[in-house]
Amino acid sequence: MTNEEVLEIAVAMGEIFNDGNEGTAQRLVAEGFVDYEAPEGAPTGPDAYANTARWMRGVWKDARWEIVDAFASGDKATLRVVFSGTHVGEFMGIAPTNKRVEVQHIHIYRIADGKVHEHWAVRDDIELARQLGIWDRPKVGAPEAAA
């Protein structure tokens, strides 16, 4: 597969989360798919990935994953996204706050034979906790260098 084809498939994965398109999960997620962001022992495959998206869309009203940067090399594609939504359901033990959040994620997909086989992600959970009001430290930049 070309880098462009790999990237096209990774970008299409957004249809599952943004649009709730479970058909995309069935079409693009391999049966043996492993989501390394999911808890250990979590189910795998297209149904499990679609279920995760359905759950996230229930926890976050108006959930959106906006791609702000993307590239592919070989069998992997990397997407930098900004996730936004309003917290309306329990998330990681946090009761709904009805607060709107906007945080960055990085998602990496391994793609072979037109299917996504693996997924890794890094989320800015500290910033998410700060925006939800459960982390009370203010967001500050790096200190100025001494002259």
pLDDT of 26 > 70? The answer is: yes
Q: What's the predicted TM-score (pTM) here?
A: 0.88
Question: CA geometry: angle at 64 spanning 76 and 4, to 5°?
Answer: 25
Residue with tokens 């391994």: 110
Which position has the higher pLDDT, 40 or 114?
114
* Segment 112-119 mean pLDDT: 96
* Segment 109-126 mean pLDDT: 96
CA distances from 136 to 8, 16, 131, 139 (A): 39, 33, 9, 9
Number of neighbours of residue 62 by Cβ within 10 angstroms: 10
CA dihedral sign of residues 89, 102, 17, 119: negative
DSSP state, 98?
A: -
Express as a percent the part of the chain with pLDDT over 70: 98
